[in-house]
Structure 1
Amino acid sequence: MLRALRQQLDLSQGQLAQRVGLDRSYINRMEAGERGAPGADVILLIADALKLGAPDTDALLSAGGHPIRALVTLGLDDPTLLALARILTDETLEASARASLRTTIDTVIAHWGKSREAPAPGPVAKRARPSATTLPTAGNGGSR
């Protein structure tokens, strides 16, 4: 994948290596699959040097076994992400409440996409839309 992206820009391995500050042989071994996956920091340097957009950057990160750039940037210990993950995987919470949260998140993502003139991320668009419900609260009989 790296080779194809590099060649689309008509860059040699040496030119890419120079842009990133790595040795040409390192780039060669990565493209040939002769070394383990580089760290997310190296992949992000390469993505920036190639001026890749989010989809290609995320594909490179994924190929290297790393989360998407937004998660790398925020960190997997981001309190908001952790809270969302816990809620969305909490099997003691009614499925309708989790579906309602997903609907709310999808609405925010759709609005963000329109305001940024960017499409919503793929996984959201591919997921079946749950019916609209409300999250339980202390006042309407919810347990959590």
Structure 2
Amino acid sequence: MPESALGRWLRAMRDARDLSLRDVAQRSGVDHAYIYRLETGAKESPSDDVIDKLTTALGSAPRDAEILKFLALNTNVDPSLAEFAVVDPTVTPSQFQMLTTVVNRGAKADYATSLARIRRFMDEEDEGDG
């Protein structure tokens, strides 16, 4: 089955809380089979209502919920970027969104280097505003 960034993010959120598909389904009122299809990438672009139910059921931190909502609207995000942001909880939603626009011309994505550049740019912008 194809993987998706949304699926990886959702699965990581569920795993972090040690919940089964059925646990999340029961808490959210969303069918466990549909959640499974979202996690595996067989389904994409869930409605805002479904995303809200899932984030509530998972007790998501605002960062996790915001990134999940972004991924529901942007289905072309590289799944490895979602994995990178799961592992590095310091990646903010705005930095994550900026990372989705980075083009790696033929090279393997180096999200850590790109993130460092984005952070430097953001710091320079903040200094210019002050």
TM-score bracket, normalised by the shorter chain, equals 0.5 to 0.7
Cα pair distance change 1:55/1:18, threshold 3 Å: same
Q: 2:49 aligned to 35, 38, 41, which one? A: 41
1:99 aligns with none
Q: Which amino acid aligns with 1:23?
A: D
Q: 1:27 aligned to 35, 39, 43, which one? A: 35
1:4 aligns with 12
Could you list the runs of 5+ residues in structure 1 that have no partner in the other structure? 67-120, 133-144
More helix by percentage: 2
CA–CA separation in structure 2 for the residues paired with 1:131 and 1:15: 47
1:62 aligns with 70
Q: Which amino acid aligns with 2:48?
A: A
Identical-residue share of aligned pairs (%): 34
CA–CA separation in structure 1 for the residues paired with 2:46 and 2:38: 8
Q: Which amino acid aligns with 2:61?
A: G
Structure 1 residue runs of 4 or more that deviate by more than 2 Å after TM superposition: 129-132
1:1-144 correspondence runs (5 A): 1-65=9-73, 126=122, 128-129=125-126, 130-131=128-129
Maintained 8 Å contact 2:17/2:58: yes
Cα pair distance change 1:122/1:62, threshold 3 Å: closer
CA RMSD, aligned part only?
2.4
Cα pair distance change 1:131/1:13, threshold 3 Å: closer
CA–CA separation in structure 1 for the residues paired with 2:31 and 2:48: 17
CA–CA separation in structure 1 for the residues paired with 2:26 and 2:129: 52
Give the SS at the match of 1:36. Answer: coil
What is the TM-score normalised by the length of structure 2?
0.53
- How many residue pairs align between the two structures? 78
Cα pair distance change 1:63/1:122, threshold 3 Å: closer
Maintained 8 Å contact 2:27/2:57: yes
Kindly indicate whether structure 1 or structure 2 has the higher relative contact order, using CA contacts under 8 Å at least 6 residues apart: 2
1:131 deviates by: 4.8
| Larger-Rg structure | 1
CA–CA separation in structure 2 for the residues paired with 1:131 and 1:60: 30
Maintained 8 Å contact 2:30/2:53: no
CA–CA separation in structure 2 for the residues paired with 1:55 and 1:17: 22
What is the TM-score normalised by the length of structure 1?
0.48
